[in-house]
Structure 1
Amino acid sequence: MATILQIESSHPLSSVSLAADGNTLLEIRGEEAQNHASQLGPMVQSLLDRAGFSIQSLDAVAISIGPGSYTGLRIGLSLAKGICYGSTIPLIPVSTLACMTACAINQYPMQETLYCPMIDARRMEVYTALFDHTGTLLCEPEAYILDNKPFREQTEQRQACFFGSGSNKAAHLLEDKNSKILTNFIILSSGMNKIALDAYNKGIHEDPAYLEPVYLKEFYHTNGK
């Protein structure tokens, strides 16, 4: 049985879960937005304690690798690296957009529908990609400027659902009959269940020393005057 700790910190509310052979044993979601630094470590410890596991009993750690919050991604990855270094277990990066899509498919299952996750990238940009109803990636992740409907050619003749923090910003472009916005969508770390297990079974993991978050665009910091 493969027991995998899963950490999602790309969004305002963190989420951690424990999965055994792709099935959720327990999941905890943060209660305070944008407070990853103080919440994430205690959440992981509480998760393991409540599930009756220790770090030594884990087979791997899966981390939502981005895109998303610059600070949240760095905090989550640092925690995951520390656990993997200390226990010499594999570190499995999972695309945040793929995790979001898996959650959307679980929450809103629709056959033959395209799934388009959107993360607010500030200004009039979103981080996005396109998946089919099985979670298979159709169009690579990108930072997309909202001057037109995303993936218009692929979604012109097919039903597509749009979800995530960037979907409301794109609402004026998604008014055609084939487009649907999933207003109550929630990203959870358990969205990584099957993705992480598949990677683990195939021996796909990364060296913690060199793994970095996937930002899709550079981070610019402006000091107030």
Structure 2
Amino acid sequence: MALVLGIDCSTLWTCVGCIQDGCLLGEINVNLGRKEASSLPLLVQDLLRSVDKCSLDIDLISVTTGPGYFTGLRVGVSYACALAEGLGVSVVPISSLEAMVFDLLEEGSLVVPVIWARGKYVYAAAYTLKEGEAEVIMSPASLLFDTLEKNVKNINCSKRVIWVGDDLARFPAPAIGERLLNRHGCRGSNVALIGEKRRSLALSPDAVRIFYLREPQIGPTKE
């Protein structure tokens, strides 16, 4: 029975989950702030212990590769690839934006995940569900929040719009859309489940790359 470990550090929240043959065994989603580097290995260990598994049981690792917070992405991807290398397993790279909303996708809805990218910029995308699979309506991008609103409005569809992400609180409520859902980062279960579904896209650990979308910004945060 294949055990898939999912890892996400793309926001201030660190999320890990494990799936076995389509069934969720467990997940941990916790706000570690900037402490991912020291806490992630222990978090994975705690998760595996809680479901009576160990690292040697892992058959595949999936990890969010961006977009998101630079430090978190480096920590998550580096750890996932190092662990995969040591275990001799492959890695499935996952979009952090898709992982944020994977369990929310439904026919007839346009789901827009948002991660703050400093200042007035956000990382965002738009997805819907088609024949049981996630369909990308707007590819992940780094853009002004005002521009995102215009792009969503210009999407030619009659679907109801659902905005997702606790970073939405930094901006005025969108003029278009029925619901705003606060969600702290990605769920570890989503990352693991997507990885299991896309096993055929798995890469060797040394081939995994981070999807930054924009250059790191050095200096104090301006809100």
Compute the TM-score of the two structures, normalised by the length of structure 2: 0.87
Secondary structure at the counterpart of residue 126 of structure 1: strand
Larger RCO: 1 or 2 (CA < 8 Å, sep 6+): 2
- Change in 2 beyond 3 A, CA 1:117/1:186: same
Determine if contact 2:165/2:183 at 8 Å carries over to the other structure.
no
Residue 92 (structure 1) aligned with residue 92 (structure 2): yes
> Hey, what does 2:30 align to over in structure 1?
30
> Hey, what does 2:48 align to over in structure 1?
48
Residue 118 (structure 1) aligned with residue 114 (structure 2): yes
CA distance in 2, matches of 1:214, 1:104: 23
Amino acid at match of 1:130: A
> Hey, what does 1:136 align to over in structure 2?
135
CA distance in 2, matches of 1:79, 1:93: 13
> Hey, what does 1:217 align to over in structure 2?
214
CA RMSD, 1 decimal: 2.2
Secondary structure at the counterpart of residue 187 of structure 1: coil
- Change in 2 beyond 3 A, CA 1:31/1:220: closer
> Hey, what does 1:16 align to over in structure 2?
16
Matches within 5 A, 1:44-193: 44-105=44-105, 111-134=107-130, 135-148=134-147, 149=149, 150-154=151-155, 157-172=158-173, 174-176=174-176, 178-183=177-182, 187-193=186-192
Percent pairwise identity:
24
Unaligned runs of 5+ in 2: none
CA distance in 2, matches of 1:130, 1:80: 26
> After alignment, is 213-222 or 28-37 more displaced?
28-37
How many residue pairs get aligned? The number is: 216
Secondary structure at the counterpart of residue 222 of structure 1: coil
Amino acid at match of 1:154: I
- Change in 2 beyond 3 A, CA 1:155/1:101: farther
Determine if contact 1:5/1:19 at 8 Å carries over to the other structure.
yes
CA distance in 1, matches of 2:202, 2:107: 31
Secondary structure at the counterpart of residue 82 of structure 2: helix
Determine if contact 1:121/1:166 at 8 Å carries over to the other structure.
no
Residue 156 of structure 1: CA displacement? Answer: 6.8
After superposition, the C-alpha distances for 1:157-208 in whole angstroms (9 at most, x for unaligned) are: 4310111144233434x124x44211356631111243211211xx211232
Residue 133 of structure 1: CA displacement? Answer: 3.6
Higher strand share: 2
CA distance in 1, matches of 2:24, 2:93: 18
Amino acid at match of 1:162: W
CA distance in 1, matches of 2:50, 2:95: 27
- Change in 2 beyond 3 A, CA 1:188/1:146: same
Determine if contact 1:104/1:185 at 8 Å carries over to the other structure.
no
Determine if contact 1:103/1:186 at 8 Å carries over to the other structure.
no
CA distance in 1, matches of 2:183, 2:17: 21
> Hey, what does 1:6 align to over in structure 2?
6
CA distance in 2, matches of 1:102, 1:171: 25
